[in-house]
Amino acid sequence: MIPNDLNTFLMPFSANKEFKANPRIVVAADGMFFKSSDGREILDGMSGLWCVNAGHGREEIANAIRDQVLEIDYAPNYHIAHPKSFDMSNRLLEIMPEGLVPEGMSNVFFANSGSEAVESALKIAMAYHFARGEDQRTRLIGRVRGFHGSGFAGMSVGNIESNRKQFSNLLPEVDHLPHTLNIEEMGFSKGQPNWGIHLADELESLVTMHGADRIAAVIVEPMAGAGGVIVPPKGYLERLKEICVYYDLILIFDEVITGFGRLGAATASEKFGVLPDLICLAKGMTNGTVPMGAVVMTENIYQTLMAGQPEGIEFFHGYTYSGHPVACAAGLAALKIYKDEDLFNKGQILASYLEEAIHKLKGHPHVIDIRNIGLAAAIELEPRDGVIGVRGFDVFRKCFDEGCLTRVTGDILAIAPALIANNGHIDMLVETLGKVLRIVD
């Protein structure tokens, strides 16, 4: 069941030579499990790639996709439109913080991925300032160890060095806040750490350096997933919001990972009680079945864009597949599952069990930190002989051999099970990690 030729596919963010010498191929999926090419069940401890939040093989979504292809498989949203793009935008707003209320979240722009959602959000921020006659506001502020997709704009505001070093021609006029992870101060924290709110004040320093009238937007992940499940300190996001409001900076939350129940609420914005100007979404929007992304914006942003052009096109940006009818059908079906099965609340309940279980790995060989929030957790390992990533990758491979899929970034192992998981699935993940940690040097 392994393809005859593995060489033709350049795999993304993967050690291609290593994989093709010892392929880990899955051929089917249902519920919480993949089936490997050698017939084994593999517990999906990562919701695919932070996206299959309602579990694999949902017939409701499959049927919605099939029905939509037969009804209208494609229609552009350039000067004409199809109904489901409006249905999807309205349904999304119903679960957004302050959605469909005056001065709250009021409009949606559709993209096809998290990378495109970030690109679109940054353009919306710049177009907003342009519409107000402040087109000199072009500087963007990201954060170290942030991941905002693979486009040039996302890589520029993100700052994971390994993702940037091959590509030198990134955007100018970009600065970065420091990341908030300090193991010495907050190691083995459960949920939000107490230390670190002062790091938000670094934004004040950047404003002083460049001038508020030169800065367009600040973009952060409420919880940095790809950077290693970096949980925001208590009060940190609130302080960022306060500074952005004071200096009239657009605040963007990249919720590609945290959206759709990962933290026990529809969004991290709701979880933390902080309303940004723009929210980037993707991944769990369609339960990972069809590529789709979105930017949700406040009424102020939307109305300013509309007023900026007296007639004609108000926002010169879009994609062939923005609001694709099949993606919208999948998204509507996924949102119905989340609601009907109360999965966001179930995820919140399960989060406390995950927290208790994962911290039992403290004291295992090579473990230097464990951190968690919602249904996301990370175990950080000491590098082997000072070489980052070797030990972590060995643990990842051995976990797969033992029947569990995790996520490895350097020497950080992450888990993020689907919202349908139960205590037994959590036990299996943690027990497997514990077994492997005792084996791997």
198-224 pLDDT, tens digit per residue, is 999 999 999 999 999 999 999 999 999
β-sheet with 367-373: strand ranges across = 367-373, 376-381, 412-415, 407-409
Contacts of residue 69, Cβ cutoff 8 Å, sequence gap at least 6: 326
Alpha helix positions (H), 211-320: 236-247, 268-272, 299-308
pTM equals 0.97
Same domain, 316 and 363: no
CATH number of the domain that residue 210 is part of: 3.40.640.10
Summarize the confidence of residues 374-399 as an average pLDDT: 97
Residue 11 forms part of a structural domain: no
Same domain, 118 and 238: yes
Same domain, 149 and 209: yes
- Tokens 């367009």 sit at which residue? 216
Same domain, 293 and 192: yes
Q: Is the dihedral angle over the CA atoms 221, 227, 229, 231 positive or is it negative?
A: negative
Residue 138 forms part of a structural domain: yes
Same domain, 296 and 306: yes
Contact 404, 432 (CB under 8 A): yes
Q: Which residues partner with 408 through β-bridges? A: 413
Whole-angstrom distance, CA of residue 122 vs CA of residue 261: 24
**What is the model's pLDDT at position 45?**
98
Residue 2 forms part of a structural domain: no
DSSP letter for each residue of 393-424: HHHHHHHHHTTEE-EEETTEEEE---TT--HH
Same domain, 41 and 168: no
Summarize the confidence of residues 347-370 as an average pLDDT: 97
Q: State CA 341 to chain mean position distance.
A: 22
Residue 210 forms part of a structural domain: yes
How high is the mean pLDDT of the chain?
96
Summarize the confidence of residues 173-183 as an average pLDDT: 97
**What is the SS3 assignment for 430?**
helix
The range of the structural domain enclosing residue 48 comes to 16-54+342-439
Residue 387 forms part of a structural domain: yes
Residue 356 forms part of a structural domain: yes
Residue 3 has pLDDT above 80, yes or no: no
C-beta neighbour count of 416 within 10 angstroms:
27
pLDDT digits over 13-27, tens only? 999 999 999 999 999
* b/e burial code for range 69-94 (CB count within 10 A of at least 16 → b): eeeeeeeebeeeebebbeebbebbbe
Residue 7 forms part of a structural domain: no
CATH number of the domain that residue 416 is part of: 3.90.1150.10
Whole-angstrom distance, CA of residue 146 vs CA of residue 265: 22
Same domain, 385 and 307: no
Whole-angstrom distance, CA of residue 177 vs CA of residue 198: 12
Residue 10 forms part of a structural domain: no
**What is the SS3 assignment for 293?**
strand
Same domain, 312 and 377: no
Summarize the confidence of residues 83-88 as an average pLDDT: 98
* b/e burial code for range 344-368 (CB count within 10 A of at least 16 → b): bebbbebbeebbebbbebeebebbe
Number of domains in the chain: 2
Which residue from 248, 257, 298 is spatially nearest to 106, judged by alpha carbons? 298
Whole-angstrom distance, CA of residue 288 vs CA of residue 46: 12
Same domain, 416 and 433: yes
Please state, for a pLDDT cut of 90, what percent of the chain lies above it: 94
Structure tokens at 178: 């420091």
Whole-angstrom distance, CA of residue 389 vs CA of residue 384: 8
Which residue from 323, 277, 282 is spatially nearest to 127, judged by alpha carbons? 277
β-sheet with 404-405: strand ranges across = 26-30, 33-36, 41-44, 404-405
Q: Measured between alpha carbons, how far is residue 437 from residues 63, 204, 245, 353, 399 in Å?
A: 42, 42, 46, 21, 9
- Boundary residue ending a domain (281, 312, 340): 340
- Boundary residue ending a domain (340, 358, 375): 340
Same domain, 286 and 303: yes
- Boundary residue ending a domain (288, 319, 340): 340
Whole-angstrom distance, CA of residue 305 vs CA of residue 128: 6
Residue 1 has pLDDT above 70, yes or no: no
Same domain, 424 and 435: yes
Half-sphere exposure (Cβ direction) of 27: Cα atoms closer than 13 Å: 9
Summarize the confidence of residues 419-432 as an average pLDDT: 98
C-beta neighbour count of 435 within 10 angstroms:
15
Work out whether strand 215-220 and strand 139-143 pair parallel, antiparallel, or are unpaired. parallel
Same domain, 317 and 430: no
Summarize the confidence of residues 419-437 as an average pLDDT: 98
**What is the model's pLDDT at position 4?**
75
H or E segment and range at residue 62: helix 59-71
